[in-house]
């Protein structure tokens, strides 16, 4: 299944090192080229872009109810989440008293402590300066004056709020157990075109299959059409990326009330080590690279949309807006220079009728996954889950709108293709997360070598 790939030397396998090299499936690209391109060209610039005002504030509705089940997760919002409140009222760090705060699930002290920690780490820091709040009103006026020709998710809901992404980094929150498992399980089991008779490797619900080691799953996957195989890889890559951020920004200890964050090797090995994951870890990491290539391709394709003079990255600060746009166009130039892009023309290329219904099926499955993100029982995890699925959704929208993008008028809005502020912010931040994941993977490789 892993064409042209040398994953480990014999010694590496024995020591259980998670080193991924070689050529990726379904595209002609090798991992070392992506590593170098990301480290030297993309990562420093995208990091800078994410600090600009246009890209650091994301409008999101974190209050949408889960449409699929009643959320009962241990350490989920209802049980022990500290509600964010305006800076003027109560300091964010003050914990609520715990009388009647917890469900029956959290009935012993250890669980109470875990729950309290998860609620504290998972809470959203909603601090915004008055200046920012005034600016957002101005931004809304500007955005409303633009013509929109696409569905505006829940951006206009009264419950949607701006969140400062720099104040709410994606990292370990203590959100785990059955609630977290159920979210990912329903994503894989119900939305990846998978029959119930085929079990995913390492699925705790799967019956014991002796020596199978997941091979029957991969035989099934290889037998799928390219589009459905790609869909599974994108979701697996997203899952791997999120797990990498949690391993790289783990709560290591809390001294004098100050948390210390850093890489957790044990957690990394548990999720990605070839021995501990029975060969699954390297496959997950390959899917992360595949997802990176898909989003990289989308950025190179959408460049003409932003190169038009009519498109402003508006925050009201003329000089900063111009600098932000220059930096963004600079990143687009880099993405175009990458020599080994994924060729999306191979997707949905069959007979017109079949291709159209497959594309629609693809879109609906993806929409379902973004709705499942409303079932995540931790605000911070939900924030980053929603942002990254919207970013990937926007990337797919771009890849499937090539003709519309080519026909864009220079000085007037296009009826054929349009991106909202929320989609633009999600697209670049989601790609920023993948770029960071690949950078963090380099750090873990170094740590692994040192630990031998």
Q: Estimate the crossing angle of helix 265-272 against helix 421-451, to 10 degrees.
A: 100
Set 29, 247, 375, 378: catalytic member: 378
Contact 257, 226 (CB under 8 A): no
Residue 182, annotated as binding a ligand: no
Sequence-ordered list of residues with C-beta below 8 angstroms from that of 417, at least 6 positions apart, any chain? 149, 305, 401, 404, 405, 408
Could you give the 3-state DSSP secondary structure of residue 2? coil
Set 66, 75, 80, 381: catalytic member: 381
Is 150 a catalytic site residue?
A: no
Is 381 a catalytic site residue?
A: yes
CA angle 388, 392, 393 (to 5 degrees): 115
- Give the Cα separation of 375 and 228 in Å (integer): 24
Tell me the backbone φ, ψ of residue 211, rounded to 5 degrees.
Answer: -90, 10
Q: How far is CA 431 from CA 43, 50, 422, in A?
A: 10, 10, 14
Residue 119, annotated as binding a ligand: no
Nearest to 52 by CA among 437, 435, 436, 432: 432
- Give the Cα separation of 102 and 369 in Å (integer): 29
- Give the Cα separation of 132 and 60 in Å (integer): 16
Residue 56, annotated as binding a ligand: no
Helix, strand, coil % in the chain, rounded to nearest 5: 55, 5, 40
Tell me the backbone φ, ψ of residue 259, rounded to 5 degrees.
Answer: -75, 150
Residue 74, annotated as binding a ligand: no
Residue 229, annotated as binding a ligand: no
**Distance between start and end Cα atoms, the chain:** 29
Buried-exposed string 16-31: b where 16+ CB fall within 10 A, e elsewhere: bbbbbebbbbbbebeb
Nearest to 113 by CA among 153, 86, 75, 140: 75
Residue 271, annotated as binding a ligand: yes
| H helices, E strands: number in the chain | 17, 4
Contact 218, 225 (CB under 8 A): no
- Give the Cα separation of 274 and 133 in Å (integer): 48
**Known binding residues for FAD:** 171, 173, 184, 236, 239, 271
* Active-site residue set: 378, 381
**Known binding residues:** 171, 173, 184, 236, 239, 271
């Amino acid at each position: 299944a892993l064409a042209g790939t040398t994953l480990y030397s014999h010694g590496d396998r024995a020591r259980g090192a998670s080193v991924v090299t070689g050529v990726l499936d379904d595209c002609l690209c090798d991992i070392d080229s992506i590593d170098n391109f990301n480290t030297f060209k993309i990562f420093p610039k995208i990091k800078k872009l994410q600090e600009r005002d246009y890209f650091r504030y994301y409008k999101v509705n974190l209050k949408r109810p889960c449409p699929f089940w009643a959320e009962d997760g241990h350490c989920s919002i209802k049980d022990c989440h500290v509600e964010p409140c305006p800076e003027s009222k109560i300091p964010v760090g003050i914990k609520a008293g715990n009388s009647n705060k917890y469900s029956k699930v959290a009935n012993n002290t250890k669980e109470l402590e875990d729950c309290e920690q998860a609620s504290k780490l998972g809470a959203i820091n909603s601090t915004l300066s008055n200046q920012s709040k005034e600016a957002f009103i101005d931004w809304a006026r500007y955005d409303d004056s633009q013509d929109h020709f696409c569905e505006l998710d829940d951006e206009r809901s009264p419950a949607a709020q701006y969140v400062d992404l720099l104040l709410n980094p994606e990292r370990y929150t203590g959100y785990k157990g059955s609630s977290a498992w159920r979210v990912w399980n329903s994503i894989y089991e119900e939305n990846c075109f998978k029959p119930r008779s085929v079990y995913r490797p390492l699925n705790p619900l799967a019956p014991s299959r002796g020596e199978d080691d997941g091979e029957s799953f991969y035989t099934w996957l290889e037998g799928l059409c390219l589009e459905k195989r790609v869909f599974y890889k994108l979701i697996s890559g997203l899952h791997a990326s999120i797990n990498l951020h949690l391993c790289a920004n783990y709560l290591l200890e809390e001294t004098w009330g100050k948390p210390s964050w850093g890489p957790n090797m044990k957690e990394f090995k548990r999720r990605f080590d070839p021995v501990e994951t029975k060969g699954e870890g390297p496959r997950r990491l390959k899917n992360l690279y595949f997802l990176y290539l898909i989003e990289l391709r989308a950025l190179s394709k959408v460049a003409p949309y932003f190169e038009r003079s009519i498109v402003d990255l508006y925050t009201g600060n003329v000089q900063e807006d111009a600098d932000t746009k220059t930096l963004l166009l600079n990143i687009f130039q880099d993405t175009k220079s990458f020599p080994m892009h994924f060729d999306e023309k191979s997707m949905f290329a069959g007979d017109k009728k079949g291709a159209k219904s497959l594309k629609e099926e693809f879109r609906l499955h993806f929409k379902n996954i973004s709705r499942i993100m409303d079932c995540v029982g931790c605000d911070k995890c939900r924030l980053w889950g929603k942002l990254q699925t919207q970013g990937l959704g926007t990337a797919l929208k771009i890849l499937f709108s090539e003709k519309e993008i080519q026909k864009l008028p220079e000085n007037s809005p296009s009826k054929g293709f349009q991106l909202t502020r929320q989609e633009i912010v999600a697209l670049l931040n989601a790609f920023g997360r993948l770029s960071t994941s690949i950078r963090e993977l380099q750090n873990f490789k170094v740590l692994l070598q040192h630990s031998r």
